[in-house]
Amino acid sequence: MQQDGSGQERAGLKQDRGSSRSGGGERCRQGSGAPKKLGGRVRGRGASVAVSLMAVGLMAGAGLLVAPPSAQASVGVIDGKKSVYGPWAVRMLVDGKPHCTGTALTDQWVISASHCFFDRPDKPVADRRITFRAGNLNQREGQKVRVIRGSRVASPNGADVMLIKVQKMKDVKPAKLSRAAVRPGQAVRVFGWGATCEDDEHKCQANQLRQADLKVLSAKKKGCEYYAAPGGKDFCAVKVRGVPAGGDSGAPVMTIAPKGKERMVGVFWGSDREKMVGAAAITKQLKWIRSVTG
C-alpha cells in the first residue's frame, strides 16, 4: 500500500507493461521498483515520501508515480528557480484550485497530461469544473478561460497526453513544436507552477511560474526503464537544476534557446521528485496534434 496525495492509503493496480492505459493515461507498470500511478491528494509525507506526483494531487484523479525502492529513503530538495519567460504556459484549475500545468498550442487549444483530466481511471473530471489561467506568469492573474465542453481528445497512441479546446485566449504566444526528436545529452527545460516543497505539496504550489533544467538520457540508461522504452513514445531525463513535482504534470518541456527560438519537445508526466523525470515526446504526437488543432 502507498499513501495517495490525501494521506489515505491506496493500492496501485498493476498492469502489464504493454497494456493500454486506463482512464486516458493512468499508467501502471510491473516489475520490482517500477513506477505506478495512484490517485490522490497531497497531505503530509507519510510512509511513501518519495512518491512522484504526476499531477498536483489536489484532486483524487491526479496520478502518482512511485519511486524505485532505492529512492524512497531520501528525497532531494525541489530547487528550481522562478521563470521570467513562458508566454505559452497555462495553469489548469479544477474547482478553482491549482491542479496541473499546460501549454497553449493555438489561441484555443491546450495540451497537457491526460491523467490530469481524471478523478479516477474510470471517472473523468467534468468539463464544467475545469478552467485555465493564461497570459501571465502569476497563476493568480491572467485571463481565466473555460473549456469547450466535449472537446478533449486523448492521444491515439496511448501517451499520457490530452488536447482540450478552451475559450479564446488573449496574450498567449502559442508554443512552437519541435520536429526533431530529443537526443541523449541534450539540455532541456521544464516549466510549471507545481510544488516547491516536499511535505504538504498542496500548500506550496508556486504562484510564479518556475523552471527546472534537465538532461535527456538514453532510454537504455539504468533507471530510465521506469520512464521510457527505446523507440517508444516517452523520453527520460535527469535533474540538472530542480525537478518537477506535484502540479507540474502536463508542463511543457522545451529546448533551451533565446526567447522565441525555443521549441516544445515534451509533455511532462512524472518524476521521482529526486532526480528522474519522464515526458511524452512531442515528435511522436505531431501528426495527431496537427490533425486536431488544424
Q: What is the pLDDT of residues 99-144, one digit of tens each?
A: 999 999 999 999 999 999 999 989 999 999 999 999 999 999 999 9
For residue 102, the cross-strand partners are: 90
Give the domain ranges of the chain: 89-175+287-293, 176-283
CATH of domain 176-283: 2.40.10.10
C-alpha span between 24 and 7 (Å, rounded): 24
Q: What is the pLDDT of residue 73?
A: 24
Q: What is the pLDDT of residue 233?
A: 97
Domains 89-175+287-293 and 176-283 in one fold: yes
Q: What is the pLDDT of residue 252?
A: 98
User: Regarding predicted confidence, which is higher, 74 or 105?
Assistant: 105
Q: What is the pLDDT of residue 79?
A: 61
Question: To the nearest whole number, what is the mean pLDDT of the chain?
Answer: 78
Residue range 152-169: mean pLDDT, rounded: 97
The pLDDT tens digits for 235-281 are 999 999 999 998 999 999 999 999 999 999 999 999 998 899 999 99
The pLDDT tens digits for 205-223 are 899 999 999 999 999 999 9
Contact 228, 245 (CB under 8 A): no
- The yes-or-no verdict on residue 25 having pLDDT over 70 is no
Q: Of the ranges 26-35, 78-87, 220-229, which is most confident?
A: 220-229
Q: What is the pLDDT of residue 250?
A: 96
CATH level 3 topology of 89-175+287-293: Thrombin, subunit H (2.40.10)
Q: What is the pLDDT of residue 248?
A: 94
Q: What is the pLDDT of residue 74?
A: 25
- The yes-or-no verdict on residue 31 having pLDDT over 70 is no
Q: Of the ranges 52-66, 86-100, 188-202, which is most confident?
A: 86-100
Q: What is the pLDDT of residue 195?
A: 86
